[in-house]
Amino acid sequence: MSTISLRLPESLHRKVRELAKAEDVSINQLITTALAEKMSALMTVEYLEERAARGERAKFEHAMGKVRDVEPDECDT
């Protein structure tokens, strides 16, 4: 595990302290979880952009052509 020194504006530090207390976790745990969530979101966008770049319109249209032309179920509307 690594240690970093992080400088925060007092207002942000105060808020993160309040949130950590409300969630009954340490400030360290709250920041670690928030960082992991942000990284996951950014990595997901990157992954989807890479997948989209590999896509081919002709293959998409071919796959969509296999979908039956029916009205959606009542629960799908």
**pLDDT for 33-75, tens place per residue?**
999 999 999 999 999 999 999 999 999 999 999 999 899 899 9
In the chain, DSSP finds a helix count (H) and a strand count (E) of: 3, 0
45 located within any domain: yes
Q: Which two tokens stand for residue 26?
A: 């340490």
25 located within any domain: yes
Taking a C-beta distance cutoff of 8 angstroms, is the pair 19, 30 a contact?
yes
60 located within any domain: yes
72 located within any domain: no
Kindly report whether the global pTM for this prediction surpasses the value 0.85.
no
Predicted pLDDT at 45: 93
71 located within any domain: no
Supply the range of the domain harboring residue 46: 11-66
Domain count, the chain: 1
Q: Which two tokens stand for residue 37?
A: 């969530």
Residue 15: Cβ within 10 Å count: 12
73 located within any domain: no
5 located within any domain: no
Predicted pLDDT at 25: 98
